Amino acid sequence: MINKSERIKCECGCGLERLRFDSQGRERRLIWKHGRKIPLDEREMRSKSAKQKGMGLWMKKVWAEGRASPNSLNGIGKNVKPFWKGKKFPQYLKDKLSQAHKGKAPWNKGKECLYQRGEKNNFWQGGISYLPYGIDFNKQFKEAIRIRDNDSCMICGSDIRLVTHHINYNKLNNTKDNCVLLCRSCHAKTNFNRQHWTKFFQSLLNEKYGYEYKMEVTLL
């Protein structure tokens, strides 16, 4: 027989009391959040005793379902499998989402990021990307660079989406010792730290093809 009027005191010694059982007959915890901190040594003692008792039934269930691993840190949040893994998205839901988005334009369609364009961009070089290439920079010249570099990127060796890069970033200096073949991914990297890439390509072509360069490099 449960005595619902029975009261218990908080174990931290603060003197507060509460009912031992709730309205559904469940026994309450002896320590509850009441704004008073438990001493550090007592908290460590309680933590050690809890670890000695072993894991709870709920943790066994989590590990059995594969949502966590017993070998993971604290047993929680590690080796968690996504709930959608191994499942296929139903076709009727795909159709439903497709119908819901029809006729609705994205919020950023037609809008421009003006704070990143032109002179406001941190990598603004004075508009040199709009400068025209020299007359010598034609298909025959590009094909000659491709043949010389074995139709592969000089950095990663890729043979996909190749472009001709000017070593000193001067579009009018269309000579073989100033051009190198790169893939688009590596070509994008050369837009940063230009001094480093210029010296890198010059030393590379000097070693591979015997081109000679001056010590001072002028970048555009």
Is the distance from CB of 102 to CB of 96 less than 8 angstroms?
no
* pLDDT tens-place string over residues 23-36: 777 776 655 555 44
The per-residue pLDDT for range 108-148, each reduced to its tens digit, is 777 776 667 777 777 777 777 677 888 889 999 999 999 99
Asked if residue 40 has pLDDT above 70, the reply is no
| Exposure of 31 in the CB half-sphere (CA atoms within 13 A) | 10
Domains, in order of start, for the chain: 7-54 (no CATH), 55-86 (no CATH), 133-209 (3.40.1800)
Predicted confidence (pLDDT) per residue in 170-215, tens digit: 888 899 999 999 999 999 999 888 899 999 999 999 998 888 887 6
What is the enclosing helix (H) or strand (E) of 164?
Answer: strand 162-166
Q: What's the whole-number mean pLDDT along residues 94-98?
A: 89
Asked if 16 and 10 touch (Cβ cutoff 8 Å), the reply is: yes
- What's the confidence (pLDDT) of residue 47? 58
Residue 17's SS3 state is: strand
Query: With a threshold of 0.85, does the pTM exceed it?
Result: no
Q: What is the CA radius of gyration of the chain?
A: 35
Distance, in Å, from the CA atom of 18 to the CA atom of 9, rounded to the nearest integer, reads 7
Rounded CA separation 79/63 (Å): 10
Task: Please give the structure tokens belonging to residue 220.
Answer: 């555009």
Spatial CA neighbour of 197 closest among 212, 214, 182: 182
Nearest to 31 by CA among 45, 18, 47: 18
Q: Considering only residues 21 and 130, tell me which one the structure prediction assigns the higher pLDDT.
A: 21
Give 67-78 pLDDT, tens digit per residue.
555 444 444 444
- Strand-pairing partners, residue 21, are 27
